Each structure stands twice: as structure tokens, then as C-alpha cells.
Amino acid sequence: MKKRIIYTILFIIMTSFISVIITLIIIDTSDTPSTYDTVELKSKVLQETRELIIKKPENYKKDAKYPVVYVVGGNSLTYTIANDTDLLSRVGNIPEVIVVGITGINQKTRQRDLTPPFLKQDLDDTNSSLGEADNFLKYIKSEVIPLVEENYNTNNQRTIIGHSREGLLVFYSLIFKPDLFDTRIALSPALWREDNKFVKHFEIFLNENPNLSSNLFMSMGEDEVDKMKIAFDLMVDVLKHKDLPNFNSKSFYMPNATHQTNHYLTACIGIDYFFNQNKKQ
């Protein structure tokens, strides 16, 4: 398994340059390229109009069923993961997948939607409201996923990916509804907020749910700030010392990666790892 991870890292390093160039071209020439479907969703849950960016496999067939990778956050990460999963599927590492980008509106709604309800949205505001991640996950569960599964050929195998505060949401989705996704990929998750409060809360949740069933990949860049790495290490230690027979977790430090680069370099390592774990089952 270590050898496979090394090969995957080398593959990602070689292809990441291609992916970044493709992504930059996409961003420079068009907000949404023609090969992607843009879906406007008038959300009753959020009381807002949101946009989904959906990328079907290159050889999409009406009689086939595909896993879905949900990407929470900016368009550039969605495009990068779509490009990388295309490359990984072409070389036979993973099956073809549908990629769904769940976009936001602005920084204010990002803080509101991605922050768990026991954490402040804005640490710089002494009167900050608590987060509303429950409501955002309800939006994903009751509106986004049904739309995708009703209009595209899916096999109900779901992965969710997020970076930074979006990575925090990925973790919180385990507390909200563990069976909503099969695999969760949290890249540089913002676990440090309010003196690592989420880590403490999550440990209590694990103690109360020893039969928790899911896959979790979490990564951090070696060159990220100390508070990020300290919280990450605390979470790794919590998971290491819990008896969770149905919970498969993998943590990874990316050499020479910063907060601005780690997610682009490690998302596909998590995707590759768990798709190949599923092959063995």
C-alpha cells in the first residue's frame, strides 16, 4: 500500500501541472466551460438561488451507472478534481465518475454555511452568530443529491471533498448524517478554530458512536501554519486511539505543500486510495 501511495504521489506531481494549466485556461476563458453542465437551483432550504457545476465522464453512457464526487467550494477546485479524476480513470486507477461542484455566493454565506452550529462564524466578530452547517447539509441532502440522482446515471456511491473550512464541513457531515456519503476527503481542514473545539466535540461523538461506518481521508501540507498542523495531529491521534471497526481513516502529510497548494496535490490521493480499497472488498 505504501508503494501504491508513492506511485500515486508521483502521478499527481506529473499531472498536477497539466491540471493546473487546464484549470487556468478554463478560468481565463470562461466561468463555466461548455463540457460542464451549469444548473441553477432555487433552494427552498437556503431561501437562495445556488449554482451547481456538473461534469459528466468523457464517455458518459445512458446505460451505465457512475459514482459521484461532490466538491464543496470554489470553481477552480471543482475543475481541478474533474480534470484529475479524468486522468486517473484514463489510466485505470479509478472508475469514471460524475463531479458535482457545490458553489457558494460570497464570504458571508461561506462562513454561515460551512461552520458547525457550536462554532462562531466569524472569530473577528465578538457578536458573531453560530454556524448553520446543519442547514447547508440539509440543502445538500434534500435538494442537491436528489437533483443529481434524478437527472444523471448514478450508482449511489457518494464522495464529498472540501478544503479548509469546506474540509471542516466534510468532518461535520459525519456528525450530521454519517451515511450521507460513503467517503469523505478533508483537505487542510480548519479544525483549529476556537482552541481546537471541533476536535474535542468530534471525540465525544466518536465515543457515543463506536459503530460509525464511513471512509475518511484527511491531508495537511507540511508547510502550513502551526495551528493547522497542531489541530490536524490532535485529530489523527483521536482517531488512532479509538476502536472503530467499521471506520476506515487515512491521514497524510504532503511534503512542501502550503495551504494554497495542498488541496490541489492530495485530493486525488484520497480518491485513488478509497476507490481501490472498494475494489478489494
184 assigned to some structural domain:
no
Question: Is-contact 167 190, C-beta < 8 A?
Answer: yes
Q: Which residue has the cell 484520497?
A: 270
DSSP characters for 48-104? EEEEEEEE--TT--TT--EEEEEEES-HHHHHHHHHHHHHHHHTTSS---EEEEE--
Write the pLDDT tens digit of every residue in 192-225.
999 999 999 999 999 999 999 999 999 999 999 9
188 assigned to some structural domain:
no
131 assigned to some structural domain:
yes
Q: What is the pLDDT of residue 17?
A: 43
76 assigned to some structural domain:
yes
CA 124 to chain centre: 26
Average pLDDT for 119-136? 95
183 assigned to some structural domain:
no
Write the pLDDT tens digit of every residue in 13-52.
555 444 444 443 443 334 455 579 999 999 999 999 999 9
Q: Does 74 score more than 80 pLDDT? A: no
Query: How, if at all, do strands 37-43 and 48-55 pair?
Result: antiparallel
Q: What is the pLDDT of residue 277?
A: 73
Q: Does 5 score more than 70 pLDDT? A: no
- Mapping DSSP to helix (H, G, I), strand (E, B) and coil, where does residue 268 land? helix
Q: Does 12 score more than 60 pLDDT? A: no
Write the pLDDT tens digit of every residue in 151-200.
999 998 999 999 999 999 999 999 999 999 999 999 999 999 999 999 99
Q: Which domain holds residue 106?
A: 2-177+194-280
Amino acid letter, 249: S
Grade residue 73 by pLDDT with cuts at 50, 70 and 90: confident
Q: Where are the alpha helices (DSSP H) in 209-258?
A: 226-240
51 assigned to some structural domain:
yes
Angle of the 2-29 helix axis to the 75-90 helix axis, nearest 10? 130
User: How many structural domains comprise the chain?
Assistant: 1
256 assigned to some structural domain:
yes
Q: State the Cα–Cα distance between residues 244 and 251, nearest whole angstrom.
A: 15
Amino acid letter, 82: A
DSSP-assigned letter for residue 281: -
Terminal alpha carbon distance of the chain: 15
| pTM, entire model | 0.89
- List, edge to edge, every strand of the sheet that includes 66-72: 37-43, 48-55, 98-102, 66-72, 154-163, 183-187, 214-221, 247-254
186 assigned to some structural domain:
no
